[in-house]
Amino acid sequence: MSSTRGRQPVARRRITLSQNFLYDTSVIRRIVRFSGVGPDDLVVEPGAGEGPLTAALARTCREVVAYEIDPRPAARLARRFAGRPDVRLVRGDFLRARPPREPFAVVGNIPYSRTSAIVRWCLEAPALTSATLLTQREYARKHTGDYGRWPLLTVRTWPEHHWRSGGRVGRESFVPAPRTDSALLRIERRPTPLLPRRRLADYREFVAFGFTGLGGSLAATLTRRYGGRTVRTAFRAAELDRDTPVGLVAPEHWLTLFHVLERGR
């Protein structure tokens, strides 16, 4: 009984922090390969846990800044990497961190419950080059168009960031095993945006307006602002049917619509 009671606080803490520790060495190698990091790179790792991914990254890149909010794994991390100049442990919340000013990549097995916040942090970091995240499989598939639909976040960030999936990671690769499978997600900042920087804010506003759903379809929504004739021209240029639901419009088509409609204003 005493051993069971001793495990309960740890179990509760893992649930609260959405902790599912990854020990599968083949998956860890996949993450590092998919991240594309190399010997000159600075890597920031959210939620380092007990450090198996940290160790693999340290063998590959110049420096790893590993964040861990849970005191027990953080203490073990500190012992494991003591005296290692290529690993810097930060005991605290990654989401409260100030992004590095120099170019850096984020690589991590992140808590499902904090996925949206971590992705937002990455997208807003000016010096980020890429984020390679192990997320819930549904999240990765949804945000890379794998269901044939595209969410607002992916579309509005597309001119600056490329989203792609690195495939499924089974729940059996984690301890404790989560309820669903995971997948690799890579968000890569484009060296040159697909639009001039002065137009990015206009594009984001355009997409936000298109996703409001006014009128029942994207074409109907855009007609309220641009007029029917111009919208028909734009949809022909994008090779889209005017009845296409907003979620089925791929990011490339949004860019075509933006170019044609804003040129006609």
- Over the range 20-40, which residues count as b (16 or more CB within 10 Å of their CB) and which as e? bbbebeebbebbbebbebeee
Query: How far is it, in rounded angstroms, from Cα 45 to Cα 81?
Result: 14
Of 162, 52, 154, the closest CA to residue 107 belongs to 52
Q: Is the N-terminal amide bond of 176 cis, ω within 30° of 0?
A: yes
Phi, psi of 192 (to 5 degrees): -130, 120
Token look-up 């964040």 returns 67
Under a CB-based contact definition with an 8 Å cutoff, are residues 63 and 88 in contact? yes
Query: How far is it, in rounded angstroms, from Cα 156 to Cα 128?
Result: 18
Say if pTM beats, i.e. exceeds, 0.85: yes
Residues of the chain below pLDDT 50: 1-16
Question: Which pLDDT does position 4 carry in this prediction?
Answer: 32
Question: Which pLDDT does position 183 carry in this prediction?
Answer: 97
What is the residue extent of each domain of the chain? 2-189, 197-263
Query: How far is it, in rounded angstroms, from Cα 70 to Cα 13?
Result: 8
Phi, psi of 20 (to 5 degrees): -130, 105
DSSP string, 188-234: EE-SS-SS-HHHHHHHHHHHHHHTT-TTSSHHHHHHHHH-HHHHHHH
Residues 34-43 pLDDT 10s: 999 999 999 9
What is the CATH number assigned to the segment(s) 197-263?
1.10.8
Under a CB-based contact definition with an 8 Å cutoff, are residues 144 and 170 in contact? no
Farthest-apart Cα atoms in the chain, separation:
75
Question: Which pLDDT does position 26 carry in this prediction?
Answer: 97
CATH topology (fold) of 2-189: Rossmann fold (3.40.50)
Under a CB-based contact definition with an 8 Å cutoff, are residues 94 and 67 in contact? yes
Query: How far is it, in rounded angstroms, from Cα 197 to Cα 218?
Result: 25
Query: Distances in Å between the alpha carbon of 110 and those of 78, 81, 167?
Result: 20, 20, 16
| Residue type, position 175, single letter | V
